[in-house]
Chain A
Amino acid sequence: MSKIYILVVEDEPEVLDVVVRDLSSLEETFPIEMAVSVKEAREIIAEIEENGDKLGLAVCDHVMPGEMGVELMIDMQKQPFTERTRKVLLTGQAGLDATVEAVNHARLNRYIAKPWDPEELVKIAIDELTTYVIEHEKNLLPYLGILDAERLNEVIRSRGTVSDH
C-alpha cells in the first residue's frame, strides 16, 4: 500500500518543529516530511512521487526567503500529482492579495493565522486528510481509528464499498 504523506513547509526551524510536534499524533499513519524552503519542498514532492507514494496534506508558511508559499501552492495546483493534495496556509503575514491569490489559483482549502491553537491545527489536519482519503482511497478501514470515524463510516454506509461475505 502506498503511503500518504504530510508535508510541512516553514523557514524557521523552531516553528517547523512546533508544527511537526503538534501533528505528531498523525505521524504513525501519515509520515511527516519537513522542508525549510520551497525549493526543498519541491524536491521532497518529487521524491514522494518517485516512490509511488501520495501527498495528502501540505501545511505551508507564506513569507519565506526565496519563493513564497503561495507560489508553491499555485504550482502544486497545476501538477496532476499534487492537484488533489489538501492545502493549508499557515501564516501570520500573508496580505490580502496573497491570500486572494491562494484561494483563487491554488484552491487553498484552509487558512490558519499565526499564532495557532495546536488542537485546532490537528482538527483541521484530520478534517482535510479525511476528505483526502474519502476521495482517493478504496479501503477506508485503516483510517477509522485516526481520522474522522463518523464521516468515514457514513461514506462506508452510503458507498457500500465493504459488503458482507
Chain B
Amino acid sequence: MKQKKSQRPVWLKTAVGLILGIIGFCIPLFVTFTGLSFAGHITLGIFLMAAVFWMMEPIPIYSTSMLVIFLQVAFLSSQSPLFSEAELPGTEIQMVSEEIWSVPASAIGSGDQVFLRIGPRSSEAVEVEIVQAQNDTVLIRGNFEEGAMIVSDAGHRLTGYTPVGFSVFFGTLASPIIILFLGGFMLAGAAVKYNLDKNLTSVLLKPFGTKPMFIVLGLMLVTAVLSAFMSNTATTAMMMTVAIPIAAQVAKEDGFRIMLALSIPIAANIGGMATPIGTPPNAIVISALNAQGINIAFGTWMILALPLVAVLILAAWGIMRVFFPPKIEKFKLDLTSKFQTSPKALMLYFFFGLTVVLWVTEAQHGVPSSMVAFLPIAGLTVTSIMEKEDIRALPWEVLWLVAGGIALGISMENTGLAVWIVSSISWDVMPQIVLLLVFGLVALFMSNFLSNTVTATLLIPLAVSMGTSGIAGDGFNLIISALLIGMACNMAMLLPISTPPNAIAMSTGFIKTGDMIKVGLVIGFVGIGIALILSLFYWPLLV
C-alpha cells in the first residue's frame, strides 16, 4: 500500500499567500506615501491584499471579493469607526494682500495643496504657490474668497476623501450590470434545463455539412454565438459533448482531433467578448464607464465587438488549419434536435427571444438592458420555468466576484488611489497608441495567469483614472482604453489555467499544452493588433 502523499505544498502555498496578503494590507498602515490621502492608504492596503489573494488564491477568488467589500464597509464607509465621528477641523483663511493669504503651516498638504472646507466631512484640494514659510504660518498665493474656510490640518483623515455610506459598497451587488448578468444567468440556466442550447446547436450545425474544415468552422461559430449569451464554460462543456463523438471517429495521429478539441474553448473565449453579458470582465468595463456617466448600450457593445470577434474566429480557424491539417476527409455527424414542446419550454423560448431582441435593440427603444434583464428574472420564476433549486444553482459567486471588483474600483477612484498610482509615471509623453499597446499587453499577460475578471478589476480603474485626471494628456479616450483592456483580458488563452474552457479542453486529453500555447500566442498578438486597429479607426466612429 502506497503511503499517502504529503499535503505540504498545498498548505504551504496557502500560508505564503495569506501571509503576503496580510503584509500587503499592513504596508500602507506603517508607511506614509506622499500625496496619498489617509483613506487612500487604507484602500491601497485593501488593493495590495486583494491583488495577492487574487493572484495566489490562498482563498477562492470570490471570497476575496467578499472580503474586499467587508473591509471597505469596516474601514472606508462613513459609518465605519474611523470616519463616523470624524469632522474636518477648519480655520478661516486670512488675507495679507492681493492674492496673498496666510494659513497655518499644518494646513499645507504634501504637494503644495490646501483643502477648502466645503462641509464638516468634505473638502476640495486646491493647488497653491507658497510665497513664504514662517514658523507656524505660511504665506500662499491663490484665488480664494474672503472668509473662506480651509482645513487647518491637511493630514486629517477626511482630507481628500468624502466617506460614502456602507450601502454604496453593499449596493454593488445590485448594480445594473450585476442585474444584467443575473438576467443572463437565468436565461442560460433555463436554456440548459430545457436543453435549448443543445437543440440550437444541432440545428445550427446542420448547414455545415460533413467536411472537416467546415464542421470546425461551424462548431466555432455556434460556440461563439452561444457563449455570447451563456457562460463560456457551460458552452464549452456542452460543445465538447458534440465534439467527442466526432473525435472518436478520427485516427489518433490526425491533427483534426487537436483542432476539434482546441477550436471549442478558443471560440468560447472569443465569443464571450461579443455581448456585455458574454463574460464577467465585460461587466467591469461597463460598470467603470457607468461610474463616469458613460452608458454603452447592449447593441452598441455588440457593434463595437463583432468585427474583433469575427476576425479572431476566422484567424484562429486559419491558424489551426496550418498547424493541425486534417487528414480525414469526411465523417458522420449524428445531429438530432428534439425541441421540447411543453408549455413551459415554449414560454422559455418566448422569454429568451424577447429578451435578446430587447437587449440588442436597446439603442432604438432606450430601455436600459439591465431593466430588460428583469423580464427573464421575473418571467422565468413567475412561470415556474426556473424553480427554487434552479435559482440556487446559478453561479452567484461570479456575481460576488464582479461586485467586489466594482466596489474596489469605487474606493480606488474616490480616495484618489488610482490617480496616485498612475501619476507616478509621465504617461503624456507616450502617444495614445503606445499607451493602449502597453495596457493591452499587460492585460493579456496578466489574464493568462490570473482570472480574466481579476485582471480587469486591477487594471481598468487605473486606465479610467488616467482619462479622468488628464494625466494621460489630450486625446486619451476613456471608453476606448477601457474597452481595449477588457477585450485583451478575454484574449488570454495560452495555457490550460488561462480560462476554464481551456482547462476543460485540456483535461479531455486530445491536446498537449504546446498545441494550446502555439495557437494562444498567435491569437493573443493578432487580437491585440486588431483591437489596436479598431481603436484607431473603427471605435472612434461609434463612441
Contact = CB atoms under 8 A, between A and B. Distances in A.
A114 interface: no
Q: Interface residues of B: mostly helix, strand, loop or mixed?
A: helix
A80 interface: no
B453 A165 contact: yes
Contacts of B231: 160, 163-164
Contact of B192 (A47, A51, A150, A157): A157
Contact of A154 (B233, B237, B507): B237
B504 A162 contact: yes
Number of chain A interface residues as a range: 20 to 34
Interface in A29-55: 31, 33, 44, 47, 51-53
Contacts of B453: 164-165
B238 A157 contact: yes
Contact of B504 (A31, A156, A160): A156
Interface stretch (A58-66, A93-101, A122-130, A141-149): A141-149
Contact of A51 (B4, B451, B454, B503): B4
Given A144-B504, A162-B504, A163-B395, A149 B401 contact: no
A149 B244 contact: yes
Contacts of A163: 231, 233-234, 395, 397-398, 500
Interface residues of B, number: 39
A8 to B, nearest CB: 14
Nearest to A51: B4
Nearest to A140: B507
Given A141-B503, A160-B393, A165-B500, 20 more contacts: A31-B2, A33-B1, A51-B1, A51-B4, A144-B504, A145-B508, A145-B509, A153-B244, A156-B237, A157-B197, A157-B238, A157-B241, A158-B192, A158-B193, A162-B500, A164-B280, A164-B395, A165-B280, A165-B401, A165-B454
20 contacts: A31-B2, A44-B1, A52-B4, A144-B507, A149-B509, A150-B245, A153-B237, A153-B238, A153-B508, A157-B234, A157-B241, A158-B193, A159-B393, A162-B503, A162-B504, A164-B272, A164-B279, A164-B280, A165-B280, A165-B454
Interface of B: 1-2, 4, 61-62, 189, 192-193, 197, 231-234, 237-238, 240-241, 244-245, 272, 279-280, 393-395, 397-398, 401, 451-454, 499-500, 503-504, 507-509
Interface of A: 3, 31, 33, 44, 47, 51-53, 141-146, 149-150, 153-154, 156-160, 162-165
The 8 closest A-B pairs by CB, nearest first: A145-B509, A144-B507, A163-B395, A156-B237, A157-B237, A153-B240, A165-B451, A141-B507
